[in-house]
Amino acid sequence: MSVTASLAFGDVAVGQTVAKNLTVRNTGKTNSLVISGAASSDPAEYALSGTGTCGAIPVTLAPLKSCTLAVAFTPNAAGAHSATLTVGDNAASSPQTVGLSGTGIVDLTISKSSLVFGSEKFGVKTTKSFAVTNHQTQPVTLSETFSGINAADFSITGGTCTTTLAARKECSIIVTFTPGALGTESATLSVSDSPDPLGPYAVALSTGPTIPATVTPTTLAYGTLTAKTPSLTKNVTVTNLSKFSLSINESFSGANASDFAVTGGTCTDDTAAANSSCTIAVTFTPTGGGSSESASMAVNVAVDPTSPHVVSLTGASK
C-alpha cells in the first residue's frame, strides 16, 4: 500500500473549509486492500470529507487500483495548525500516517487600525480612508457602526464598500470628521462582516484639539496721526465658529504697548457668543513725538489650540 505522505492546505480563513484529496493505492498484485479506518489527531480542524472517490470506510480496493480520501481543513483560530491522519488497513505496514498542515488567517483585514484627523476648524469637514479585504472564499455582508464619546462627529461618506464584499476582494471606506466639540475628539469605528467568527474589526478615530475661532486681521496699521486726529480706533474681529460660548481676553506687549488700548467693541463681557462674530476696538493714542510706534496685541481665546492670536500694531504721529 502507498499513501500521499503529506497534505499542505496553505492559508485558509478562520471558519472556512478547504478540502484536499489524499491518494491511496493498493500496490499489491494479488490481494485486495481493506482500509478499516482513518482518524485525525485534530478532528476539530482536520476531518474526512465525503467528497473522495474511495467512498465510505471500510473500503475494499482491488490490486493495483487507487482512490482518494478527501480531507477537510477548518481552522478555528489564526496561526499555523498541524495534525496527523492515521490510516488503518490490512497491509503489513499498517497503520499509515499522513502529515497535515495549514495556516488559519483572519477572515477580514483592514489597512489601518487608526485614523488621526489632527486639529480642524469648526465648519470644516475632513476625510480619511482605509481599505477592507475579504480573505474568505465566499462573499460577506459588511456593516459599520460608530461608538465612543464623539461618535456623532464621524460618519462614512464614501468609498467603494457596499453591503456585500465579494470573495477575495478589497474595497475602501471614507470617514469624514466634522468638529462638534471643544478640545480633542475620539470614537471607534467597528467593521463587521458576516459570516466571520473573528469580527468585528476596530478602527480608532482621534483628532487634535479643534479650532473654535479665528481672529482677523493680523495687522492694524494706523498710519500717521496729526494734532487734528490725536487718536484712532480700529477693530479686530473675533469669529466664533463653534456652537459654544468662548471667553476671550487681550494683552499688549512691545516697545509702545502703553499707546494702544482696548476701548470697546461688541465682544461684551470678554465673551464671543456661539456661531457669531464680534469686534474688539483698539485705540492708538501716540505719545512718541513724531516717531514710528509699534506693539503687539495677543488675543487669547479659550480652548483654542492656535491661541494666542497675535495682531501687529503700527502707527506714528507728527
101 plus 132 within the same structural domain: no
Nearest to 311 by CA among 248, 268, 269, 231: 248
- Are 285 and 256 contacting, i.e. CB atoms less than 8 angstroms apart? no
Cis before 230? omega within 30: no
Instruction: Give the percent of the chain with pLDDT over 90.
Output: 94
Instruction: Compute how many other C-beta atoms are within 10 angstroms of the C-beta atom of residue 143.
Output: 12
232 plus 189 within the same structural domain: no
Residue 129, beta-bridge partner list: 174
Cα 140–Cα 144–Cα 145 angle in degrees, nearest 5: 145
Listed residues 105, 122, 139: the one ending a domain: 105
Per-residue model confidence (pLDDT) at position 270: 93
For residue range 46-63, list pLDDT tens digits in order.
999 988 999 999 999 999
CATH at 20: 2.60.40.10
261 plus 167 within the same structural domain: no
226 plus 306 within the same structural domain: yes
Residue pointed to by grid coordinates 514710528: 292
Residue 208 binned pLDDT confidence (cut-offs 50, 70, 90)? very high
Q: Which domain holds residue 7?
A: 2-105
- Are 23 and 58 contacting, i.e. CB atoms less than 8 angstroms apart? no
13 plus 88 within the same structural domain: yes
Listed residues 105, 121, 147: the one ending a domain: 105
Mean pLDDT of 215-229: 95
82 plus 137 within the same structural domain: no
Listed residues 153, 188, 206: the one ending a domain: 206
Kindly tell me the burial class for residue 265, based on how many C-beta atoms sit within 10 Å of its own C-beta (0-12, 13-18, 19 or more): middle
29 plus 116 within the same structural domain: no
Cis before 95? omega within 30: yes
Residue 288 binned pLDDT confidence (cut-offs 50, 70, 90)? confident
140 plus 76 within the same structural domain: no
224 plus 295 within the same structural domain: yes
Buried b (16+ CB within 10 A) or exposed e, 289-316: eeeebbbbbebebbbbeebbbebebbbb
Cα separation of the two ends of the chain: 115
Count of domains observed in the chain: 3
294 plus 254 within the same structural domain: yes
194 plus 230 within the same structural domain: no
Q: Which amino acid is at 252?
A: F
Instruction: Give the percent of the chain with pLDDT over 70.
Output: 100
Instruction: Answer whether residue 1 shows pLDDT above 90.
Output: no
218 plus 254 within the same structural domain: yes
Mean pLDDT of 253-267: 97
